[in-house]
Structure 1
Amino acid sequence: MTSVNTTVFLTPEEDAHVRNTLKGRLQKCQKLAGQPREPGDPIARLQQVTGASLMADMNFAAELGLEAPKRQRDAMVAFAVGHPYPPCIASIEDLQPMELSELRMDTHHRGRVLTVRRKAPVVQLQASSWTVVHARSSEETERLEILLHKLTHGQDILESGSMFKIKEPYFTLNEQDEPTLRIDHPSDLVLCSNGEELGDSKDGDSATASTDLARKTAKEWKEEGNAALKQQDLPLAHANYTQGLQLLTKNDTGKEELTYDLFRNRAHVNLILNRFDEAKTDALASLTGLEDQKAKDLDSKAYFRAGYAAYNLGEFQEAKGFFEDQQRLMPDHKDAAAYLRRAELRLKEQATAVYNFKKIKAGLSPGRPRVDAASFARNVKIGESTGRGRGLFATHDIGSGEIVLCEKAFCVVWGHEKEALTAMTYDGRDDKIRVIPAGLCRAIVQKLLDNPSQVEKVMDLYGDYRGLGKQLIVRDSSPVIDTFQVHDIVSRNAFGPGPMHSSRREAEEDESNASAGLWVMAAYINHSCIPNAEKECVGDLMILRATRRIRAGEEITHSYDASSDYDARSAALMNTWGFTCDCALCVAEKADGPGLRKKRLQLESEANALVERNAPVGAKMLAVAKGRRLIRSINETYNDERYKGLPRTALDRIQKWLAEATAR
């Protein structure tokens, strides 16, 4: 689709450094593939991770991955892509155990599972985390790294526990030529529960502790969950409530009230964690249906939580129903009444495209950059576009200036938010270095892990690597998300949302942390240098308007790159989106030849300099005369017959300026 508004210029030396380092690792891995693992020195490895952890805590950068101190302007992470591999889609019980000694270099050990225990502190870098682990059966150690997708709800995955199961482990070299167990897909690393972890130990105290855990009642798990919630340890609260529910499921002795409490409490935690799928399921599972007042009050709370979850999933009709059920049980609940009104307003927006844009814009701020609004998509449908894959088509006639599509983003990461991260990638598939919104990739993966109901619509978008396709796969109670597939989808479909007109945002955003977002319906819109629609963003709400009358059945297009420079535009379309535009304008400009295009570009640059130096209001006659001469000169570079009916884009700025300068 269209790119994030980020341009990074590399000197030839910088380009060669990044390319040689990342490309070199891939070449070394290919040579070492299949060779047996060499154990290494455990003491030296522990000394290395301890020292690196201290340096990371002091906010020093690792020299290459190319890690940089957080928020350092002009510094950017770099890593290699282009050799994607699928995540494991088998359950742990279907995998055969293996030991560290069986690892082979640059090998995906399919059908195997490796259990390891963390032995050292975790080194946290911008785009990765690593530590040292050892096998259960020996003190042999190895390096374990998580690339990019290293956090879950703000917590480093490697710090969330001490024992892990690695599904189909991938053993390879990192950018420092060090052997490592590499994790790219979060579902390939499974955190062992407390019971598993302690049960594996031969230590007497640990065995006793494991027995104590097994003796806990569901009520005690609930109380520990409540205590963790009070301390804002949400993952632990969720785990404790889950343990209680699992215990009640195994020993079903009619403890319905406790079951309802656990489901209701876990629904609350899930809402805070933005896990709206499970929050809705838990809230509905907590409904008692009883008629006494206490039960009605609790069911009212459950309906509100289900409605809030559905609302945040964009399921406004369902949310409206839940809020109405809540109101019947507790009519005086003000929050539920307010959300019921909001759900009704969202349904109206979906049906009519009537938005209060003035109010929406007034409510935007760096602290609240996301809009509370519904998507309007009744004017368009997805269809096949000849030679272009899928596209978006008008369902009926749309007048010039009318809304074609108004879409709430699936996910946006703003430059001033801590999740923002722009990275350089070397793609081994075409030997190119690109800039991608890595922070957006991470946020989308997390959102899909939290809300599996959203997987199909996102993973159905176009990407060079199809991975697992759009099918939702759940293994070991967790969705399986192919992070390489998400990377390619983001690379081809992400938008820069544009400025929020905030001085704070402009001060905090640069090329290392540019804002970026994914709008699913808008991602289907194909490019044209002569588009029939143009977009603008209000917060994370994208508004697409027709620039001329669009007939029913006509494909909707907008410009991915609006540069008037044919050569720059063509290079951007190929490098970023992988295609050559063959629209009528590109055909005409290509026929001009490089000499004429260069002359036109020089004249346009001169015209733009005139515009920038002279305000149109009160412009001097000398400037106006020069503007007219430049327009004539630029026009002379266009062949009248070849450009009949086509825009002369090099004239856009100077003609607009001249019209304003001579308006009186």
Structure 2
Amino acid sequence: MTTQAGENTIFLTEKEAARIKITVKKRLERCSETKGRAREPRDSTSAIQQATGASLMADMGGAPDPDMTEMQGRGGTLPALAIGQPYPPCIIPMKDLQPMTVEDLRMDTHHRGKRLTVKRVSPVVALVARSWTMVQDEGGDQTERLEICLHKSRHGEDMLESSKAFVVKEPYFTLNDQGEPTIRIDHPSDLVVCQDQSNVDSTDAAAAEKIAKTYKDKGNAALKKQDLALAHEKYTAGLKIATADAVSNTNPDLAKDIARNRAYVNILLNQLDEAQTDAKSSLTGKDDQRSKELDSKAYFRAGSAAYSLGEYLLAKSLFDEQMKLTPGDKDATLYLRRIQLRLREQESGTYDFHKIRASLSQARPRVDAGSFIGNTEVKDSPGRGRGLFAIRDIPSGGIIMCEKAFCVVWGHENDTLTAMTYDVRDDKIRVSPVGLSNAIVQKLISNPSQIHRVMDLYGDYHGDGKDVITTEDGPIVDTFRVHDIVSRNAFGPGSQYGEEGARNASTGLWIWAAYINHSCISNAKKEYVGDLMILQATRAVASGEEIFHSYDESIDYDARKSSLMTTWGFECQCALCTAEKADDPAVRRRRLELVGEADAFVQREHWANAKRLTVSKAQRLARAIDETYDSKRFKDLPRTASKAIQGWLSKASPRR
């Protein structure tokens, strides 16, 4: 491999690529050799000292992160992650799992049907792509390493830092790349964070009510300090007690008050599903003025959550109910106006793009807009799986669809994280937007109603086929499926808000657009306004015709072929690729040489008021490129190599 050539390209040295592969393969060999063996006990004192020292060094930046790999060219490092050995998350409720101890762990084993309760006994070592700590089981006489990979934070807080006690569902005990035995967590739902709760006498209503009120007060105090995760924790604990019969029979309003408060916190945490549920459960239905004001607040919170989920008709009905209780409410009136615009966008594809562009900035990079997909439908595409098809005639230049992203991570945001991933399934190293995968996982955990939409997209790994998305312990998201879906379906909206390169490239997932198949001879082109993707027809598209856009627009056939296979896993069979495949390699090389000359010419010579001699030179370059195409094989096919020079000629106006 060569050195980095440009901001948007990352290259590994052959030595680094080999090191990554060897490290992973050696780990797999060791795992295979030790599979099923009994765990070797650790010395607790030295284990805790090891974690304490590693944590201190990580905090001070004094120790190298073992996951990071050196890059060539401009230097710097990226995390290197092994993928390709996916396993499904636990879908059994915690109460139905059988308890086990650390001593029961077996090497390279998924302990299906089991649960392990542990307490943290060392500081947390926070690395870029994972965090780890030392834990002991309930007996306290066995110490082991617990590690959570990639999806290690929740609401900005490291999950291992958020508590002292955890339950690991169906523990996976294995070796990491450094040969350390570890209890490895890949799915956030496999780690249940235990929170301290007071013991409540279910028969003593007064005592239970007092404890519930205490949790409510603690939640209010945390909210005042903007510690949203703690506020949610305290409200949840209080709500659990307040909804029990002992309290709800004597003070039913207490649970409604706590639910109303938690609904607000959930909106701030972007947990919109639970926000709607909480807000609706807090409704009193009473006719006194105070109750009407409280119910108005509840409808507003439910409506806000529905709006943020893009459920505009539901949001409208909720704000209409609010207006009945508090006519003329300014906030509800504003939302109803916005909903009217969103519904118009959804139904007719009518957008005020000038106003949308004017509203965007680096601080506010996301569009407030609805998605217009009414011109299209998803159905089977012969030989391609599923595809997007027009359901009405669309003129050349017409809007096929406009879609607001499901999730975007912008290059200037903290969530951005690029990694080198080595996939043992095909022995290939790729640059992967793992920050986007992480953001999508977090969004799905927060809003399980959206899980099916994402999981319906194509990915190489299909999970266990059971598609369980929640248990009484909370939402379940298969992180391996999300990774594979992102690898095949993510888009790059470009550097709209400042400089970025491959290490911090903006990436996003547009669910409807993800169904569009590739063709080098596309009938659609896309552009982005913030996180709104606009897809326009490049020629007239007939009703029933499949929509295509180009995943890779390289004019180099070999480069394009390699990119499509490496990133998307297929070889294009379009007419253009078929024609170019039949070219003599020497002809393709000559064409690329001419393109290089043409590109240099276009960069050097401005088309305005060009001299006749300059125009003549451009014409000769265009003819020379054109002559590399066989007239019969390329009849009626685009000659993409001459696009830049032909564009220059179309604008050139030679001086007389």
Smaller-chain TM-score bracket: over 0.9
Structure 1 538/117 Cα, relative in aligned 2: closer, same or farther at 3 Å? same
Please say if residues 94 and 473 of structure 2, whose CA atoms lie closer than 8 Å, have aligned partners that are also in contact.
no
Partner AA of 1:239 in structure 2: E
Instruction: Report what 1:207 is aligned to.
Output: none
Alignment partners' CA distance in 2, 1:173 and 1:513: 30
What is residue 90 of structure 1 aligned with on the other side?
A: 92
The answer to whether the 8 A contact 1:53-1:123 is kept is yes
> Does 1:224 pair with 2:226?
no
The equivalent position to 1:335 in structure 2, one of 328, 331, 335, is 331
- Give 1:604's match in structure 2, choosing from 588, 592, 595: 595
Q: 1: distance between equivalents of 2:148 and 2:605? A: 54
| Paired residues of 1:67 and 1:126 also in contact (CA < 8 A) | no
Greater CA deviation, 108-117 or 623-632?
Answer: 623-632
Q: What amino acid sits opposite 1:261 in the alignment?
A: D
Query: 2:610 is matched with which residue?
Result: 619
Q: Structure 2 CA distance, aligned partners of 1:638 and 1:68?
A: 42
Residue 376 in structure 1 maps to residue 372 in structure 2: yes
Q: Separation in 2 of the partners of 1:303 and 1:607?
A: 62
Q: How far is 1:635 from its partner?
A: 1.1
**Distance in 2, Cα, partners of 1:463 & 1:193:** 36
Does structure 2 conserve the Cα–Cα contact (< 8 Å) formed by 1:23 and 1:426? no
| Paired residue secondary structure (1:46) | helix
Correspondent of 1:122 among 103, 121, 124: 124
Q: Which amino acid aligns with 2:456?
A: D
1:58-105: CA deviations, max 9, x gaps? 234534212799xx9732111100000011111111111111111111
Amino acid at match of 1:406: C
Q: Distance in 2 between matches of 1:260 and 1:101?
A: 45
Give matches, 1:20-169, under 5 Å. 20-60=22-62, 62-66=64-68, 74-169=76-171
Runs of at least 4 residues off by over 4 Å? 212-216
2:539 corresponds in structure 1 to 548
Q: Look up the SS of the partner of 2:389 in the other structure.
A: strand
Partner of 1:575: 566
Identity of aligned residues (%): 59
Alpha-carbon distance, 1:404 to partner? 0.4
Match of 1:204 in 2: none
Q: Is the 8 Å Cα contact of residues 463 and 485 (structure 1) preserved in structure 2?
A: yes
* TM-superposition CA deviations, 1:174-203 (whole Å, max 9, x none): 11111111000001001112139x99xxxx
| Cα distance in structure 2, aligned partners of 1:636 and 1:536 | 32
Listed as ranges, the gaps of 5+ residues in structure 1 are 200-211
Cα deviation digits, residues 479-520 of structure 1 (max 9, x gap): 1110000000000000001121x3xx21xx332221100000
The amino acid of 1:218's aligned partner reads A
Q: CA deviation at 1:443?
A: 0.6
**Aligned position for 1:658:** 649
2-side partners of 1:326 and 1:102: how far apart?
56
Q: Which residue of 2 aligns with 1:531?
A: 522
Residue 640 of structure 2 aligns to which amino acid in structure 1? T
Contact kept, 8 Å, 1:147 with 1:182, in 2: the verdict is yes
In structure 1, what residue type is equivalent to 2:166? F
State yes or no: 1:584 paired with 2:575.
yes
CA contact (8 A) 2:197 2:237 kept: no
Counterpart of 1:413 (choices 385, 409, 413) is 409
Q: Relative to structure 2, which stretch is displaced further, 428-437 or 253-262?
A: 253-262
What is the CA deviation profile of residues 220-259 of structure 1, one whole-angstrom value per residue up to 9, with x for unaligned ones?
A: 2211111111122212211222222211222232312212
Quick one: structure 1 residues 362 and 236, their matched pair in 2 at CA, closer, same or farther if it must change by over 3 Å? same
Greater alpha carbon shift after TM alignment, 329-338 vs 397-406: 329-338
CA contact (8 A) 1:74 1:512 kept: no
What secondary structure sits across from 2:539 in the alignment?
Answer: coil
Mapped contact 1:67–1:125 kept (Cα < 8 A)? no
Distance, in Å, in 2 between the alignment partners of 1:569 and 1:511 is: 18
Cα–Cα, structure 1 residues 618 and 549, in superposed 2: closer, same or farther, change >3 Å? same
- For the 8 Å contact 2:518–2:548, the answer to whether it is kept is yes
Residue 183 of structure 1 corresponds to which residue in structure 2?
185
Q: Per-residue deviation at 1:23?
A: 3.0
Query: 2:133 & 2:21 partners in 1: Cα distance?
Result: 27
Q: Show the counterpart of 1:242.
A: 236
The 2-side partners of 1:130 and 1:604 are apart by: 52
1:203 corresponds to which residue?
A: none
8 A contact 1:456–1:472 mirrored in 2: no
Structure 1 residues 491 and 60: CA distance shift in structure 2, 3 A? farther
Does the 8 Å CA contact 1:224/1:237 hold for their aligned counterparts?
Answer: yes
Q: Give 2:358's match in structure 1, choosing from 345, 356, 362.
A: 362
Contact kept in structure 2, 1:350 and 1:376, CA below 8 Å: yes
1:563-612 C-alpha deviation (Å, 9 max, x unpaired): 01000000000000000000000000000021211111111111111111
The yes-or-no answer on 1:648 pairing with 2:636 is no
Give, in angstroms, the shift of residue 126 of structure 1: 1.2
**Residues 25/66 of structure 1: CA separation in 2 closer, same or farther (3 Å cut):** farther
Deviations 1:440-461 (A, max 9, x none): 1111001100001101110010
How many aligned residue pairs are there? 640
User: Residue 138 and residue 221 in structure 1: after superposition, are their counterparts in 2 closer, same or farther (change >3 A)?
Assistant: closer
Offset at 1:323?
1.2
Tell me by how many angstroms 1:152 deviates: 0.5
Letter of the 1:49 counterpart: A
Is contact 1:73–1:512 with CA below 8 Å preserved after alignment? no
Correspondences of 1:436-475 after superposition (within 5 Å): 436-469=432-465, 471-475=467-471
Q: Give the secondary-structure state (helix, strand or coil) at the position aligned to 1:342.
A: helix
Q: What is the deviation of 1:127?
A: 1.1
Cα distance in 2, alignment partners of residues 213 and 416 from structure 1? 50
Does structure 1 residue 233 correspond to structure 2 residue 244? Answer: no
CA distance in 1 between counterparts of 2:595 and 2:232 reads 61
Corresponding position of 2:11: 9
- Matches of 1:407 and 1:423 in 2, distance apart? 27
Question: 2:316 is matched with which residue: 315, 320, 333?
Answer: 320
* Letter paired with 1:241: Y
Q: More relative contact order in 1 or in 2 (CA 8 Å, sep 6+)?
A: 1
* Partner Cα separation in structure 2 for residue 510 and residue 43 of structure 1: 45
The one-letter code matched in structure 1 to 2:620 is R
d(CA) in 1 for partners of 2:595, 2:215: 71
The amino acid that maps onto 2:560 is R
Contact kept? 1:528, 1:560, Cα under 8 Å: yes
Letter of the structure 1 residue corresponding to residue 271 of structure 2? R
- What is the Cα deviation at residue 213 of structure 1? 10
The alpha carbon displacement at 1:468 in A equals 4.3
- 1:10-59 deviation line (CA, Å, top 9, x unaligned): 22122212222233322322222112211133222222211111121123
- Which residue number in structure 1 is paired with residue 3 of structure 2? none
> Paired residue for 2:386?
390
More divergent stretch after superposition (282-291 vs 523-532): 282-291
Residue in 2 aligned with 1:172?
174
Which whole-Å CA distance do the structure 1 matches of 2:551 and 2:453 have between them? 22
- Whether the 8 Å CA contact 2:65–2:128 is kept in 1: the answer is no
CA deviation digits over 1:115-155, x for unaligned, max 9? Answer: 11100111111111111111111332111111000000101
CA shift, 1:268, in A, is 0.5
Shift, 1:417, TM fit: 0.4
Structure 2 distance, partners of 1:360, 1:643, is 42
Residues 391 and 556, structure 1, Cα contact 8 Å, conserved in 2: yes
What's the TM-score, normalizing by structure 2?
0.94
Superposition RMSD on alpha carbons, in Å? 2.0
Q: Distance in 1 between matches of 2:91 and 2:415?
A: 28
Paired amino acid for 1:473: I
Aligned to 1:512: 503
